Structure formats: structure tokens, C-alpha cells
Amino acid sequence: MKTARNETVEQYLAAVEREASALPPERRQELLADLAEHVDVALAERPEGDPAAVREVLRELGDPRTIAATALREAGPHPAGAGHPTAGPAVPPPAGPGYAPGGPARRGGRERISPWCAVVLLAVASPLSLVAPVLLTGVVRIAGVVMLWLTPSWPVGRRWIATLVTVLVIAVPNTIALLTDVSGMGAPGIAALTVAQFVVPLAVSVWLWRTARRPESGPAA
């Protein structure tokens, strides 16, 4: 009798655990401990030898999905997004991995970093240089390269190419400016360099975006 009771209860708790998989592990364990404790106490307070007791107690506890959904709502500061783990990948976040709700990111680590982040950072760096201080532009560019290497969406060779191009886009025009008399280049030369500075990084970003392997079911390539 004891084993039969345990089996049904275990199945129920396993269902809750499954449904609550997006919860942080310690929250999930806490919830399971609370529910197990409830079952023990509730059963102890029922007349002994009632064959329907376990079923009754579990029925009153309710649907594991409802409990898990409530727990997710209570747990996160982003109640709407965190409630449905399956909704995450379907809606691509506007930028970056930091946006991903806690649960999935914790499980997958880098596997879940979206290629968005590196692509966007690398793409905006040059336009940003028109309006923002040099230092900020530099930080954005470096962050883009760092994200590029943290994101598993590209083979190493492609990451090297993107990194090299990003460095050259800065280095080449500045070197030319240092070594030669820019005024001597004439307007067409300067224009060509400027255009290259904007077009090349953008082209690299587009290329990265189109060739990225998406984590799980990302937006269509």
C-alpha cells in the first residue's frame, strides 16, 4: 500500500517537475518539496485505509501545469515572457542573449546566444561613429567582436574573416591618414575610404546574419 501510494505521488511530482522545467533549479526543488510535504500531511489527516485518499489529495492539489504556470509567474520579474518556455525562440528578441528569460539560458549556456547580438553590434559601430564619441564606437566594435567569438553560430574560419575585416576597416584608413597627406588624396580618395568604412562592416554583418546557424528554431534564414 505504501509503495502504491508513493508511485502515484512520484508520478504526480515528476509531472510537476517536467512542467516547471523553466524554473530555476532551486525554486523547482522548493516547489516539489512543498508539494511532497503537503501530500504527506494531507494523507496523515485523512481516515486511515481510505483507498481513494491519494487520488483525492492529488486532485485537490490540481493540474501540474497550472501549478507550474503559477510558480513561473511568481518566480520571474518578467511574468509574461517567462511563463511559456516554448514562446522564447518563436519571437526573436530585438537584441542579444541578455534578453533570454533565465531558465533556458541557464540550461543551454552559449548554445542559446543569438547571432543577433554580434551582427547588430558590428553593424551599428560605423554609423555610430558619426554621432558618438570615438571611445564608445570602439567599445561597441570590440563588444561586437567578443560576441562574435562567444556565439557558436559560425565556424571559426568565418569568425576570423569577420574579425580581420573589422580590424582592417579601422586600421587601414587610419594608417593611410597617418602615413600620407590626406589632403593630397583628393576628394574621391577620401570619399572612397569613408564609404568603405561604412559599407564593408555592413556587408560583413549581412553576410554573418545570412550564414548564421540559429539556436533552436530561430527566425527563417
Partner 1 sequence: MEPAEAGNRANTSKAASQLRKGVLEYCVLALLRDGPRYAVELLRELDAVGPMATSQGTVYPLLSRLRRDELVSTDWQESSSGPPRRYYALTPTGRAALEEFAGIWPHFRDAVDHFVGTRGPSPSPTEHEEQR
Positions touching partner 1 (CB under 8 A) are 16, 27, 30-31, 34-35, 37-38, 40-45, 59-64, 66-67, 70-71, 73-75
SS3 labels along 122-190? HHHHHHHHHHCCHHHHHHHHHHHHHHHHHCCCCCHHHHHHHHHHHHHHHHHHHHHHHHCCHHHHHHHHH
The Cα-based distances of 30 to 13, 19, 26 in angstroms read 12, 14, 6
- Whichever of 12 and 209 has its CB closer to partner 1, that residue is 12
State in angstroms the smallest separation of the CB of 42 from partner 1: 5
Write the DSSP string, 40-70: HHHHHTSPTT-TTHHHHHHHHH--HHHHHHH
State in angstroms the smallest separation of the CB of 9 from partner 1: 13
- Whichever of 7 and 74 has its CB closer to partner 1, that residue is 74
State in angstroms the smallest separation of the CB of 120 from partner 1: 36
- Whichever of 52 and 135 has its CB closer to partner 1, that residue is 52
State in angstroms the smallest separation of the CB of 22 from partner 1: 13
- Whichever of 46 and 213 has its CB closer to partner 1, that residue is 46
